Structure 1
Amino acid sequence: MKITQIETFLVNLGHRNIPYVKVHTDEGIYGVGEAYSCGPDKATVEVIRDFAEWLVGRDPRDIEGLWQLMYAGSRFPGGMVLNAAISGIEHALWDIAGKAAGLPVYRLVGGKCREKVRVYQSPRGDTPEELADNAVALIEKYGYTAIKMGPLPPGWQAMPWNRVLRETEKRVAAVREAVGDDIDIGLDPHARIFEPGRALQLCQVVAPYRPFFVEEPLRPENYDALTKLSQHTDVPLATGEMLYTRHEFRDLLKLQAVEIIQPDICVTGGLWEMKKIAAMAEAHYVSVAPHNPCGPVATAVNVHFAASTQNFLILEYHADDEGPRREIVDEPMKLVDGYLELPEKPGLGIDLNVEALGKYPFRSWHRPFSWREDGSLAYQ
């Protein structure tokens, strides 16, 4: 079996553009994948097209070797764009391998550790009341046993810090009261706090409400600062969405800086790289809760990872039951009472609706910029 062509599709799902990949072979089997929406999404597509020149004519089932060709063959260690491109292609290679073997992908990477995959979704709301109401509505609609929320109030970068802490406590308290004691609540300040002391104060404010974890309480570049924070709080800390490959997770795990890592299967190097990262984490008694903010193909790949990984904890999820997310795939992963069912189809168990992809063309996009009161740029 040989790769004959690699197609790319840059699709706008409303809040971001997502690069999709379709790898064709000379035996008529094809695979689909999803690369991360890094921001310069056209750059990711161009890297995928460049890699296609390296991969055409090779056996798609040689996944480890092709991964090394793309990663090490690029000479310099990749950043988000290169690793996103590798990830999207790698997903499609696993899809081909599963279809060729007549097995779902999780059967090829260790088999089942579990029968279903626990997921959470994030409610929105500017006020504590709106946030609490939306959390309850999500739980009632989809049966979630966990949610994740942004604890910081809107416009917090321009507020006095003491007010930020007061408003944060109100938001978390309102959601805890609304959902009860048995729903896990993750908190995500989105890596926007710079000083460990302020991050510690935030953890102290939310600690009475027993958060499931606090995600990215600090910027991710300085592992020592994160370690310092972890030594002064009992709140479980999580990070990892902006780290790439096992090499960037190695020192983080060695320092025991967090209890939970959150690699993204669309940017850290793909499914097989995530398995390697998870194995490293398991040896350090760390759980894996994958970052998954993008599209339905990414969710499918994550389901195969979660099914076959013992120290998987929970998966970030966006409902795929309506709108463009539902239209661009033949059949999304099935959600039942807050858990995704494992697919039994060969490969990833999901396919792209190519005709629908064309209805949602690329639109220029970036995260909204945040500004402090003095006019300086805040962390995004």
Structure 2
Amino acid sequence: MLGGPVRDRVPVYCGVYTAPDPPVCRDLTQELNERYGFTAFKLSPYRRDPYASRWGNVCAEAAGYFAEIRSISPPEWEFAFEAHARIFEPRQAIQLGNALAPYDPLWFEEPIRPEYIPAWGHLRAQLDVPLATGESLFLPQDFLALLTAGGADPYLPVDGYLELRPDRPGWGVEIDESALGTDDYVRWERVLPRRFHRIRVRSRRRRTSSAGALWGAIVAAAHSPGRCPTSPPW
């Protein structure tokens, strides 16, 4: 995306995505390390329903949780936190991210929705942790706007390549074919209703896949009034 490959090897992390009790998290991450060699993991910062509690309590509990995870994990291991765009006020995202900051998260991912790019520049300026986003952005122009706003530290594009094609009305999407052949998600014909069947697939010789890419294809392909679905069909 920024000029081609620049390295032969990259570090990877394992997504846990929940916030298991610290002893359970320790056992799980140790097993993943022993079996596969992972030393970086992604967790959720939410130990309770974030909408059913005072926000200060949500942040304090997240900080205490991360402190305990740090205390029982090898010091060289990395932990990122995925907030799943469930925060609707930037000030609350700042409060939660900075509550995690003393324990050195690898990054704080997508605390707010990605559509309003200027908010991301403000958010990053106020956070004491690396801010990550990108998997809900599907056009080169979106990433250019995010880069221009200084809105993130790690940029996380979707694994499939998606781009609207104004010269091909009704098609609109190109996606890495490997995203169609995964065992992790439901079958493609179940994901796409018939009205979205005009998807063009182009091989790019890489083994990547993403539920975000699949959903992005659905949204982009359906991008006309009255046809854009409001939630994934799985």
Tell me if TM exceeds 0.5.
yes
Distance in 1, matches of 2:106 and 2:51, equals: 25
User: Which residue of 2 is the match for residue 153 of structure 1?
Assistant: 47
Question: Per-residue deviation at 1:296?
Answer: 10
Indicate whether 1:134 and 2:28 are aligned. Answer: yes
User: Which residue of 2 is the match for residue 91 of structure 1?
Assistant: none
Greater length-normalized contact order (CA 8 Å, ≥ 6 residues apart): 1
| Residues 159, 263 of structure 1: alpha-carbon distance in 2 compared, 3 angstrom cutoff | same
User: Which residue of 2 is the match for residue 193 of structure 1?
Assistant: 87
User: Which residue of 2 is the match for residue 297 of structure 1?
Assistant: 178
What is the total number of aligned residue pairs between the two structures?
Answer: 179
Query: Which structure 2 residues correspond to residues 64-83 of structure 1 after superposition, within 5 A?
Result: none
Q: What TM-score do the two structures reach when normalised by structure 2?
A: 0.65
User: Does the 8 Å contact 1:214/1:238 carry over to 2?
Assistant: yes
User: Which residue of 2 is the match for residue 17 of structure 1?
Assistant: none
1:116 aligned counterpart, secondary structure = coil
Please tell me the residue identity of whatever aligns with 2:24: E
Question: Per-residue deviation at 1:178?
Answer: 2.6
Higher normalized strand content (fraction of residues)? 1
* Of 172, 175, 190, the match for 2:69: 175
Query: Which structure 2 residues correspond to residues 3-18 of structure 1 after superposition, within 5 A?
Result: none
User: Which residue of 2 is the match for residue 239 of structure 1?
Assistant: 133
User: Which residue of 2 is the match for residue 255 of structure 1?
Assistant: 149
| Residues 133, 155 of structure 1: alpha-carbon distance in 2 compared, 3 angstrom cutoff | farther
Indicate whether 1:122 and 2:15 are aligned. Answer: yes
| Residues 149, 296 of structure 1: alpha-carbon distance in 2 compared, 3 angstrom cutoff | farther
User: Does the 8 Å contact 2:94/2:127 carry over to 1?
Assistant: yes
Aligned CA-pair RMSD? 3.2
Structure showing greater Rg: 1
Distance in 2, matches of 1:193 and 1:268, equals: 26
User: Which residue of 1 is the match for residue 60 of structure 2?
Assistant: 166
Distance in 2, matches of 1:119 and 1:296, equals: 22
Distance in 1, matches of 2:129 and 2:177, equals: 31
Distance in 1, matches of 2:153 and 2:113, equals: 16
* Of 105, 112, 125, the match for 1:218: 112
Please tell me the residue identity of whatever aligns with 2:85: A
Q: Which runs of 5+ in 1 are unaligned?
A: 1-108, 271-294, 301-319, 329-346, 351-364, 369-380
Please tell me the residue identity of whatever aligns with 1:297: S
Question: Per-residue deviation at 1:189?
Answer: 0.6
Aligned structure 1 segments of 4 or more residues deviating by more than 6 angstroms = none
Distance in 2, matches of 1:252 and 1:185, equals: 24
Question: Per-residue deviation at 1:126?
Answer: 3.7
Please tell me the residue identity of whatever aligns with 1:348: R
Please tell me the residue identity of whatever aligns with 1:180: P
User: Does the 8 Å contact 2:19/2:45 carry over to 1?
Assistant: no
Q: What TM-score do the two structures reach when normalised by structure 1?
A: 0.42
2:15 aligned counterpart, secondary structure = coil
